Chain A
Amino acid sequence: MDEQACPRCKTTKYRNPSLKLMVNVCGHTLCEACVDLLFLKGSGSCPECNVPLRRNNFRVQLFEDPMVEKEVDIRRRILRDYNKREEDFGSLEEYNDYLEEIESIVYNLCNNIEIIETNKRIEAYKRDNREVIQRNKTRVGRDEYELEEMLELERVQEEARKKELEELELEHKKKKARDKQALIEELMHSGKDAAQIVSEFAEKAEKQREEEKQLPPLKSINEFSTGIKFGQTTDTTFLPVPKSEEGPLFIYEPLELITEGPMPPPPSDIEGMGYISHIRAETPQENAGGFTSTLACQRALQEALQCLYYTSTAGMAAGT
């Protein structure tokens, strides 16, 4: 293994065992001390390639070859946008072409080939597929969420099992101690033959062990047979449908026109018999509001004929 060294201050792992090498998006390494020194203000340029860098983008170098770090970085960035899945494509061939495109982009960016053109290609892709990208992002988010939930569940189960085992162990130990104590007391106080007592106790212990074996470990039931936990909805992203009080069903009753006068002409007659020709046509603005001259005409006629039959009847109180 070659000695790792900071290219700037030439410190090596040998001279400083706590040396931490950091790497940024350009793929050039720097030791932690140099990063602290150079990027005091939060941002600066790489001493080797002069690319402007931010301090908080520095990561500890995991791979020996800094170029691998660079590629990992680039790949992560590209895959954030190139997040289509196989389901998004019509055929396997298209999907393969897509994967190949990703690889070529990553390769170009890693090796500084046609950088500008490649970036343009990425931009164009982002523009064209904005919706798909956004949708897949949220889907990825949800997948991650579900995964996390599953892990959490497993962890909880694991813990419960551990605890159970511990308790069982403890119980066992206690019992053994109790048995031993009983045996000794028996030996001390009873006048029977010691060998007989020992064999009696051994038999008893054997019997108990067998009983325990027959008893399967108690498992508390806290899930349905489908594996869904009690009281936990399968998909937490949906709200439950609110229960609505359903009243009696609506029954349509046709409106009754109370005229207390001669019947006004039906809408068909208003145009057919020429009523319409005696009022002005509606303006486009009025028409846009849903008003037609037929309506206005009908209303005037209706109001003219309503309550023509009215005759004064018994008295009424004012304003009641």
Chain B
Amino acid sequence: MYPVSSQKRSWTFANETLLQAFRVEQNTKYIELHKEEAQGREDYFLTPEEERLLLKQYEVYLADFCRRFEPTMPKCVVGTAFHYFKRFYLNNTPMDYHPKEILATCVFVACKVEEFNVSIYQFVNNIKGDRNKATDIVLSNELLLIGQLNYYLTIHNPFRPIEGFLIDIKTRSNMQNPERLRPHIDSFIDQTFFTDACLLHTPSQLGLAAVLHAASKEQENLDSYVTDLLFVSAREKLPGLIDAVRKIRIMVKQYQQPDRDRVKAIEKKLDKCRNQANNPDSELYKERLRRLYTDEDDIPADDASFHIADVSSETSTMNISQ
């Protein structure tokens, strides 16, 4: 029930300016906290625009990762993972937590929440590079992620509303073969994932926008379906919907992929200014873990067989409390 959900109450926002405000706030907060690291250099930290570009690039990676995932994942997992990713970076900056790590964690949590059953071993098989390290990172960030999501894990995706509209169109309108809309609908929804539409509009509006967009691609007109069947009893609400659909379509239309070279430069910058305490490759992180580890149990600090996954839960809880 979306109308009474936490998604509507807490995670649907009024406009893009508001989202932008959140992101800038996170950015300023981080810079304030780590001022001394910059040693006076102006361009040491990422700007909010740079963060935005970086995250857009990582959203592309997220879509690629989900598309290539073995076994093939259902659409709703992808949608949920995107939601998590966007929500996480409303309350955090990529300088604190590298999007590469959060990306994998989002997909992993989404798999669980949407009941798409993969084990962590199956999961890391889809990741290139050191799989042990990936396991450590995903598991240690899992609790951090759901903590930052405020434990609101249920996501209302536009996929079921779309099914509802198609059933309704098949039943009540005289459109010929509505099934041919599907490819267009799917590609439109995939595009909305790269925008902030899911943080601004309801899943049913997203679904209707996708259906209307697909209809216009197929040279069909569903306007009479909307006005005469859906809104027949509430004509006065129609402008609001038309406005929402228009905004969604503009958002999708205006989306452009970030420039690869710029993103590379940003990533280089990020490697320097990121929070080293959360970088699994940094000495600081290892040192912190070791300290945690020895504090919790009385095991000698120079234990050679030290493994990060063993203390994953402790580190995550610590991150949350920060």
> Footprint of B on A, CB under 8 Å?
258-263, 273-275, 277-279, 297, 299-320
* 27 A–B contacts, CB within 8 A, in A order: A258-B3, A259-B3, A278-B171, A279-B167, A297-B167, A300-B164, A303-B204, A304-B162, A304-B165, A304-B168, A305-B164, A306-B3, A307-B3, A307-B203, A308-B204, A308-B208, A310-B12, A310-B244, A311-B244, A312-B14, A312-B15, A313-B14, A315-B13, A318-B11, A318-B90, A319-B87, A319-B148
Interface size on B, residues (CB 8 A): 52
For B4, B150, B171, B201, which residue has the most chain A Cβ atoms within 10 angstroms?
B171
> Footprint of A on B, CB under 8 Å?
1-4, 8-15, 18, 22, 87, 90-91, 148-150, 152, 156, 160-168, 170-172, 200-205, 207-208, 230-234, 237, 240-241, 243-244
* Cβ contacts under 8 Å, B243 to chain A: 311
Question: Which residue of A is nearest B87, CB measured?
Answer: A319
Q: Tell me if A310 and B10 are in contact (CB < 8 A).
A: no
Q: A306-B204, A312-B13, A312-B200 are in contact. Are A300 and B149 (CB under 8 A)?
A: no
Chain B min CB distance to A274 (Å): 6
Q: How far is the CA of A109 from the CA of B165 in the complex (A)?
A: 85
Question: Which residue of A is nearest B166, CB measured?
Answer: A278
* Cβ contacts under 8 Å, A306 to chain B: 1-3, 161, 202, 204
Q: Tell me if A303 and B230 are in contact (CB < 8 A).
A: no
Chain A min CB distance to B204 (Å): 5
Q: Tell me if B168 and A275 are in contact (CB < 8 A).
A: yes
Please classify the interface of chain B as helix (H, G, I), strand (E, B), loop, or mixed, using the class held by over half of its residues: helix
Q: Tell me if A310 and B205 are in contact (CB < 8 A).
A: yes
* Cβ contacts under 8 Å, B208 to chain A: 304, 308
Question: Which residue of A is nearest B178, CB measured?
Answer: A278
For B8, B167, B208, B233, which residue has the most chain A Cβ atoms within 10 angstroms?
B167
Q: A278-B170, A316-B10, A319-B90 are in contact. Are A307 and B164 (CB under 8 A)?
A: no
Q: A258-B3, A309-B237, A315-B14 are in contact. Are A300 and B201 (CB under 8 A)?
A: no
Q: Tell me if B244 and A303 are in contact (CB < 8 A).
A: no
Question: Which residue of A is nearest B236, CB measured?
Answer: A309
* Cβ contacts under 8 Å, A259 to chain B: 3
Q: How far is the CA of A318 from the CA of B23 in the complex (A)?
A: 11
Q: Tell me if A309 and B230 are in contact (CB < 8 A).
A: no
Q: How far is the CA of A309 from the CA of B244 in the complex (A)?
A: 10
